[in-house]
Structure 1
Amino acid sequence: MKTDTCDANAPIDQLKAISSWVSSVQDLDKLLQLIIESATGVVRAEAASLLLLDPTTNTLYFKVTTGAKGDEVKEFRIKIGQGIAGHVAETGQPLLIADAQQDNRWMREISDSIEYATRSMACVPLKINGTTIGVVQVINKKDNTQFTHADMAVLEEFSSLAALAIGSARSLEQVRQENQDLKKELGEKHQIIGKSVILNKVLEDAQKLSRTKTTALIQGESGTGKELLARLIHRESPRKEKPLVVLNCAALPEPLLESELFGHEKGAFTGAAGRKLGKFETAHEGTLFLDEIGEMAQGIQAKLLRVLQEGVFYRVGGNTPITVDVRVLSATNKNLKKEVEEGKFREDLFYRLNVVQLNIPPLRERLEDVASLVDHFLAVFKKETGLSGLTISEAAMDKMSRYNWPGNIRELRNAIERAVVMGNGKTIMPEDLPITASLPKFAGLKVGLTLDEALNEFKKEFILLNLRHTGGNRSKAAKVMDIQRTYLSRLITRYDIRDLA
């Protein structure tokens, strides 16, 4: 870049070139360096610098410098109100100094330290939304003349560009930080609580699954946390930076569900005022979680199967093929295998969705996790209500630890919320809980069984309960039941126990 001579349009051309990069700044340091170097050349200065305010120390530090002594200058800091730069930062008003040696505001210590003869100066404030955040200054004309008001006007334009660049960079950083905070908050909100063996086995399988793009079917009763598990799989996957899109298939009738999944073109049906992108397009390169997949009508099932097989679909009312890369997770509280046998769910779609199956245990099968869940939800509601000193009584905890929780974790959360709101604000008591204490009920008991038959049914269910609790580990289950492992194996054979899901 030639800096000794420039035509009348040079400042405008350089300002236009730089301003086109400012709003999408990627490297602030390089951009500020370019702005100050350009300002130095346009006004034909020997040296220039951009100083920023450090609010913690109320001083200015040299962010960008040009000239032979630029690196040496960066060792210094200037107090607000001190020197020409400090005065401009304090007042927010520009200064044009014809002879620095004769100006009592000039701070000669820096010039003397670096052995630089300062003659004339021009200094302008650097402002964002009317607040001074620093200054831009130029020193000594190369031709030994003085800076003019025209030079000052040019310098103010470059200062405005620098302020815009800094503001854009700070906004981008704020957005990045907010995104990080939001991800952290969502991670905490959607974490899966519990340390039971049976839950840890599910989480271990989910971690393995997250590293692949394999479709998976999550099965479990309502309120067990199927969506939370889907979020964990996405969060731990290579697709985590892309969207996770959630759609409840039970919430929409067939025509609307088709539009939600695949989108529609303008005029595709009454009310289609414009083009709409479907969930598959929105989830491109990410994950699509289809909750309550068992409620999907068979007409939509066929179209979903085609997308899973080919990765291509058409918007409703459209004839342009759309290709997507989407990892599909689905969930249901129904027995899909039984639905297939009854002709209510397509067999080919079932096998396509059920490449890997994860089964979330009901809360009654992992009652040892109740205490951890109670602590988690209590902390959430204490924060929301401001009842920081709220505790839970031992009797209330015991009552919850012996309850069957037919509504699973959702019911537990609601019970804690109700107790927090309706209790005395100090200690949650058993009577604050909208539940009736009960040990898990044995489903096999019924009228008509002989005593031996009832005992055998109980033994079978008891063995199944403990095997599920230990993730199928016979040695651990035998230890819990206080029997020999070999005896447990004989019982498993006797009662034909096979399915631990």
Structure 2
Amino acid sequence: MEESVWLKWRDLPWLQRSNAHASLIRACERILQLESLPEIVTDIAAEFGVPRCSVLERKEGWETIAARGEPIDVLPGPLLNDVVDQNAAVWSRPAGDDAHMFVATGSLQQHVLAFSGVRLDPAQLTDGLAIARVVGSRINDLARFNHAQQTVQRLRATNALAHTFAGETDTQHLLERIAEEASRLLGADRASIFIWDRNQRMLIACPALGVEGGKLFLPDNKGIIGETIESQSPVVVDNAYSDSRFDQTVDRQTGYKTRNLLSVPLFDAEGECIGAFELINKLDGDFTEDDLIAVQDFAVHTSIAIKNTLELENLVRSNQNLTERVSSGVTIIGENESIVALRGTIDRLAATELPVLILGESGTGKEVAAQALHHNGPRASKPFVAVNCAALTESLLESELFGHEKGAFTDAQSTHIGKFELAEGGTLFLDEIGDMSLGGQAKLLRVLEQKVITRVGGTQQIPVNVRIVAATNVNLTNMVAQKKFRQDLYYRLSVVTLEIPPLRERPEDVTTLARFFLKRFCSDAGRKTLEFTPEAEKRLRIHGWPGNVRELRNLMERVAFLAGGDRIEVEDLAFILSPTHDPYEDLSDGVGLADATNKFQREYIKRAVKRMQGNMSDAAEFLGLHRSNLYRKMRQLGMEVEEVKP
């Protein structure tokens, strides 16, 4: 038959009142259930019958972290050190004072349990050592619990922030938010994120507090961040100014003092390093192993948010570029021998980084050629930014091309990003480069040579990586000879020159282009593609097309929307002829070709301005010209504005 013996905890002989240690054991049991040090020392003081009991912790010196009654005024540091080193207990009674007992707890942080009272007896050392061990164990448990609780709270806060970061669509704003939240969550004074530009071998710090523009550009092989990137490992610095890797330049410029810092690499989902995350000046002491783990956890979410936002920005930018490409028709149409050769040259040049100068009259399609160079090359996924230099006065040129800082001048109420920065990684198209002032030419040349810009009102040098394509409808060689255009800039821009012939020199392409534009605009108008009558085609071919392809394009757009029938008749094209007489009538006057052309252009401009009720901007658009080009053409023809306005 099986035998069994039971013993309940309450029946344990040690816990019986007759046992001398029963009270101590019950006190140890209670301590293991208490949740805070103040509760623990209060219970122990009552158990030992002393008015004062406390827990001491060794930091830079010894400090009281929990107490029942008044803490001991002067803590005997050397004696407490001996107690911990010997893992022992000591009783002492200073002359004319209460007795003290100091007992090592054996906790991981080497706490000491302190007793003080008149009736404190050396015989209590045994009980003191026993209960101190239980206190040490409970302190360790509470520390582990608190650490786990803090970790859980931090991870929950990090996850909550990660959800909010997912809604950001602007990288600059995202980085600023990450730095702000990281400083708050991880207990540091400042934080910065460094994005690694592998192609430029640069690190872009944002936000760089106290630095103009909020960004800092650094080589990727220098300093503590450079080592973090190179080693792809964390770097902890307890004393920044004593570390030879630390560059004090920014501190000297801003008046800030960096005391310590913690830097960790940022990795994307494929394990590629994309930058670094840095915390500066921990608010309480030095950075610990726990801080490093916390920063690495935070860095995982930071990397994902940055990568997603950058990809979203690139996607939006690419979509915009694609839309512009489709809407503007980045296709060079025509079978003329010179156009076929031009397409082949563009295909070969697109894969290079060579600067290109495009020559041709207004409206010949210089910007289309520039876009073809961009979209057929390796920069196609990056921005294509066009600038009309004729529309920029010298005072506006720097701000438009290079940007300006907030407060740089009276109306500069916010930071303005210039065209060079907007075109980063892509192509910058400088149209009508011949109209740029000499002062503007000098500034442009300096940027092309140094590949850095400085915003107006700023001092920060910003590296730029853009391909330059320029265009003009004037003879730059003559302008160089007349000292109106810088020779060094001309040579810099014209490494390769493309010349687009005027439409009148390739009449075989007129109907091909007309049908191309007509098909597109009929689709926009929601109607079936119209057909030309033979007479209408003939009228298109004999027209001189002073506005070139732009004039033809505008004509087809108007015809697509306004033509009444399914076929385009000569009457639908009558706007190019005088409505009051036969267009061939002047051939009998014996005037020369140049005079006849000038006469036609003067009359044509007058009719356009009259039709637009004197609005020169609308008239220029009607004629397929920029407003500045219309005024220039009028000056060439000897016309005054007052002469043409109704």
TM-score of the two chains, using structure 2 as the length reference:
0.41
2:237 is matched with none
When residues 24 and 376 of structure 1 are mapped into structure 2, their CA distance, relative to the original with a 3 A threshold, is: farther
Does the aligned pair in 1 maintain the 2:371–2:384 contact within 8 Å?
yes
Shift of 1:283: 1.3
When residues 279 and 368 of structure 1 are mapped into structure 2, their CA distance, relative to the original with a 3 A threshold, is: same
When residues 13 and 270 of structure 1 are mapped into structure 2, their CA distance, relative to the original with a 3 A threshold, is: closer
Which of 400, 413, 416 is residue 540 of structure 2 equivalent to?
Answer: 400
Identity of aligned residues (%): 44
Confirm or deny that 1:297 pairs with 2:297.
no
Does the aligned pair in 2 maintain the 1:266–1:273 contact within 8 Å?
yes
Does the aligned pair in 2 maintain the 1:211–1:236 contact within 8 Å?
yes
Give the secondary-structure state (helix, strand or coil) at the position aligned to 1:194.
coil
Question: Which letter maps to 1:238?
Answer: P
Confirm or deny that 1:435 pairs with 2:576.
yes
CA distance in 2, matches of 1:189, 1:397: 24
CA distance in 1, matches of 2:556, 2:160: 56
CA distance in 2, matches of 1:294, 1:226: 14
Question: Which letter maps to 1:378?
Answer: L
1:276 is matched with 416
1:378 is matched with 518
Confirm or deny that 1:357 pairs with 2:473.
no
Shift of 1:189: 3.3
Shift of 1:22: 6.3
Question: Which letter maps to 2:367?
Answer: E
How many corresponding residue pairs?
Answer: 293
Does the aligned pair in 1 maintain the 2:389–2:431 contact within 8 Å?
yes
Does the aligned pair in 1 maintain the 2:402–2:453 contact within 8 Å?
yes
CA distance in 1, matches of 2:510, 2:164: 51
CA distance in 2, matches of 1:187, 1:298: 36
Does the aligned pair in 2 maintain the 1:387–1:425 contact within 8 Å?
no
Which of 362, 366, 371 is residue 222 of structure 1 equivalent to?
Answer: 362
Give the secondary-structure state (helix, strand or coil) at the position aligned to 2:429.
strand
1:69 is matched with none
CA distance in 1, matches of 2:150, 2:483: 78
2:481 is matched with 341
Give the secondary-structure state (helix, strand or coil) at the position aligned to 1:206.
helix
> Which structure 2 segments of 5+ residues have no match?
1-147, 167-307, 578-582, 594-646
CA distance in 1, matches of 2:494, 2:153: 64
Aligned counterparts, 1:45-64, within 5 A: none
1:107 is matched with none
Aligned counterparts, 1:78-477, within 5 A: 183=322, 186-187=325-326, 189-191=328-330, 192-388=332-528, 390-433=530-573, 434-436=575-577
CA distance in 1, matches of 2:409, 2:151: 57
Give the secondary-structure state (helix, strand or coil) at the position aligned to 2:428.
strand
Shift of 1:324: 1.0
Q: Give a deviation string over 1:219-270, Cα, whole Å, max 9, x none.
A: 1000001011111101011111111111101112111112101111222222
Q: Give a deviation string over 1:73-107, Cα, whole Å, max 9, x none.
A: xxxxxxxxxxxxxxxxxxxxxxxxxxxxxxxxxxx
When residues 20 and 190 of structure 1 are mapped into structure 2, their CA distance, relative to the original with a 3 A threshold, is: same
Shift of 1:190: 2.1
Does the aligned pair in 1 maintain the 2:389–2:432 contact within 8 Å?
yes
When residues 182 and 264 of structure 1 are mapped into structure 2, their CA distance, relative to the original with a 3 A threshold, is: closer
Q: Give a deviation string over 1:290-337, Cα, whole Å, max 9, x none.
A: 100000010010010111111123211222222211111110000000
Does the aligned pair in 1 maintain the 2:328–2:368 contact within 8 Å?
no
Does the aligned pair in 2 maintain the 1:280–1:326 contact within 8 Å?
yes
CA distance in 2, matches of 1:399, 1:206: 32
Q: Give a deviation string over 1:413-443, Cα, whole Å, max 9, x none.
A: 12223333443232211121122478xx9xx
When residues 336 and 22 of structure 1 are mapped into structure 2, their CA distance, relative to the original with a 3 A threshold, is: same
TM-score of the two chains, using structure 1 as the length reference:
0.53
> Which structure 1 segments of 5+ residues have no match?
1-6, 26-168, 448-501
CA distance in 2, matches of 1:17, 1:319: 36
Shift of 1:185: 6.8
CA distance in 1, matches of 2:477, 2:529: 49
Q: Give a deviation string over 1:337-396, Cα, whole Å, max 9, x none.
A: 001111111111111111110001111111111122111111122122222153221211
Question: Which letter maps to 2:459?
Answer: N
Give the secondary-structure state (helix, strand or coil) at the position aligned to 1:290.
strand
What's the C-alpha RMSD, in Å, of the aligned pairs?
Answer: 3.4
When residues 275 and 188 of structure 1 are mapped into structure 2, their CA distance, relative to the original with a 3 A threshold, is: closer
Does the aligned pair in 2 maintain the 1:418–1:432 contact within 8 Å?
no
Shift of 1:17: 7.0
CA distance in 2, matches of 1:294, 1:201: 25
Question: Which letter maps to 2:350?
Answer: S
